[in-house]
Structures are given as C-alpha cells and as structure tokens.
C-alpha cells in the first residue's frame, strides 16, 4: 500500500503530527492521494477515526484504516504519539493483518424506504423531551413495547462507547454481535420491557416501530437526522465492512484499562 491520505483532529498536536507523518511517507516514496487512497491514517482519537470512516463511506471497500491516538490508547487506534517511528516502519516494511468490522445498516421507512445510513459504533433512537413508545421486533417477531427516552443499537466496537455509558455490556472483539440497550426505560406495572441489555446474533434484524417519531433524533456515531414522518427504523448487519490494518497485536485488555 503506497497511496495514502491523512485525517487529523483539529488540535495543533494532531495537525503537526499528521504533517510529520505525511512528510516522512512522501520522503519514503509514498504517494499522497486524497481521492483514492489505499490507506487512511487517522491522527487524533477514536472520534477522529469515526469521522474518517464516514468521510469515506462511499468507497469503504477500497480503503484500510490505521490510527495514531494523540490521547490515551483508543479502541480504533493502535499507535501512541511516541510510536510514530514504529508506525512508519510498520507501514513501509510489513503486510498488515486486516480486521473487518461490519457496519450497522439503518433503514428508515415512512410511506417509502429512505436511503440507508451506516454506523460503526451505534444507532440511537432518542427523544429527551417526550417519552417514546417503541414496539421492538426481532426478525419480525414482536419482543416488547418499550417506553422511555430511547434505544441504542450497537455493535461489538461500539460496546465500549455510548453503550457502556448506559450500562450496556462490553463485548470482546472476537464476538460479533448486535446489542440493544435501553436509554432511561420506564418500568412499572403498565410499562414493561426487558430492562437489561439484550445481545443478539449479528444476523438479527432489530425493528423499532413507533406511531410517532415526531421530534425524535436518530443519532448514528457522531451524526444525526430527525425522524419526523418516519415510523419504522430497522438496524441490521450491513454487507459493508470497515477494514482496519493491524500491524501488531494490541491487547484488548490494555485498551479496556484505558477506560478506568
């Protein structure tokens, strides 16, 4: 891989580091190609990597991603600032193992189907003002009627992100799954839902139906759209994958330790 591009977070340290990596790779004969890169180097945090993935979503099959973290060790980034030399050496001398992580496909429906959206971490149907009443179906079989602020559907990668903040389970990386976690669920005699995170096979279609999603937001990773006029949101495993270049093994337990 020799055609590369770089996405940096907006802070000075990340921008300078990005420039440094770019100059060194150009010096080693690599070609900077922002239009059709083979590899994208993200410099910043896990959030920067999410932005980079969404920027390239239409050509996701053609690019592999690798990240330098300018903060603590990340989940989507393998190199620390002090390891830039190692990254350059790995990029220019090694063949990486490619880890493929599926994107969550989000379909919205009113009287017609809308173009799908994609998320790497999670999709959230959320309304912090008005209580949501959402009918949940797993592969078209009715599960429950949820009441509360909303529901979060995450994949393995997103299990340590928003999902973890709402007491969802952390899922180890060798286990592909979808997880549904309640956001401020209401539970009493007349309002019953599972009340605990639900982990399902990645091939499960999770359908969330509502009579009115008026004023409700569908947040997907760092992006969002309004759901006015929509009455059905379905989350499922997409055929699209994000490819991460792994030049060395980073312990997932070490990554977890960066959280606490």
Q: Which of 11, 33, 34, 46 is catalytic?
A: 46
From CA 110, how far away is CA 96, in angstroms rounded? 43
From CA 245, how far away is CA 77, in angstroms rounded? 10
Rg of the chain taking only CA atoms, in angstroms = 20
The CB-of-28 to ligand NAP minimum distance in angstroms stands at 28
Q: How, if at all, do strands 141-155 and 178-185 pair?
A: antiparallel
Cβ count within 10 A of residue 232? 17
Is 58 catalytic? The answer is: no
The CB-of-74 to ligand NAP minimum distance in angstroms stands at 5
Whose Cβ is closer to ligand NAP: residue 25's or residue 64's?
Answer: 64
Q: State both tokens at 192.
A: 């019953």
The CB-of-158 to ligand NAP minimum distance in angstroms stands at 5
Whose Cβ is closer to ligand NAP: residue 219's or residue 230's?
Answer: 219
Half-sphere exposure for 247 (CA within 13 Å, toward CB): 22
The CB-of-177 to ligand NAP minimum distance in angstroms stands at 14
Helices (H) and strands (E) in the chain, counts: 5, 16
Whose Cβ is closer to ligand NAP: residue 9's or residue 25's?
Answer: 9
Provide the greatest CA pair distance for the chain: 68
Whose Cβ is closer to ligand NAP: residue 181's or residue 210's?
Answer: 181
Half-sphere exposure for 158 (CA within 13 Å, toward CB): 27
Closest CA to 183 of 206, 207, 152: 152
Alpha-carbon distance values, 163 to 3, 104, 199, 217 (Å): 35, 14, 12, 17
The CB-of-31 to ligand NAP minimum distance in angstroms stands at 28
Whose Cβ is closer to ligand NAP: residue 25's or residue 152's?
Answer: 152
Applying CB under 6 A, which residues contact ligand NAP?
45-47, 50, 71, 74-75, 121-122, 157-158, 160-162, 165, 221-222
Q: Which residues are catalytic?
A: 46
């Amino acid at each position: 891989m020799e055609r590369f591009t770089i996405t940096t977070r907006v802070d000075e340290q990340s921008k300078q580091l990005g420039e440094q990596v770019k100059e060194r790779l150009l010096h080693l004969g690599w070609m900077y190609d922002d239009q059709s890169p083979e590899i994208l180097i993200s410099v910043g945090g896990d959030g920067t990597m999410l932005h980079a993935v969404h920027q390239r979503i239409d050509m996701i099959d053609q690019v592999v991603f690798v990240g330098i973290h300018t903060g603590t060790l990340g989940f989507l980034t393998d190199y620390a600032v002090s390891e830039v030399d190692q990254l350059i050496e790995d990029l220019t001398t090694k063949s990486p193992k490619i880890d493929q992580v599926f994107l969550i496909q989000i379909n919205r429906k009113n009287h017609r189907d809308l173009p799908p959206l994609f998320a790497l971490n999670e999709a959230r149907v959320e309304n912090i003002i008005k209580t949501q009443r959402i009918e949940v179906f797993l592969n078209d079989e009715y599960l429950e009627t949820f009441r509360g602020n909303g529901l979060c559907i995450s994949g393995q990668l997103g299990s340590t992100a928003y999902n973890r903040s709402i007491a969802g389970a952390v899922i180890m990386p060798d286990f592909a799954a979808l997880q549904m976690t309640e956001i401020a669920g209401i539970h009493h005699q007349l309002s019953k839902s599972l009340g605990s995170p639900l982990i399902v096979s990645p091939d499960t279609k999770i359908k969330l139906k509502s009579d009115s999603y008026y004023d409700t937001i569908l947040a997907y990773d760092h992006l969002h759209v309004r759901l006015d006029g929509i009455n059905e949101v379905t989350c499922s495993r997409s055929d699209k994958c994000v490819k991460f270049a792994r030049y060395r093994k980073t312990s997932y337990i070490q990554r977890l330790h960066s959280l606490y």
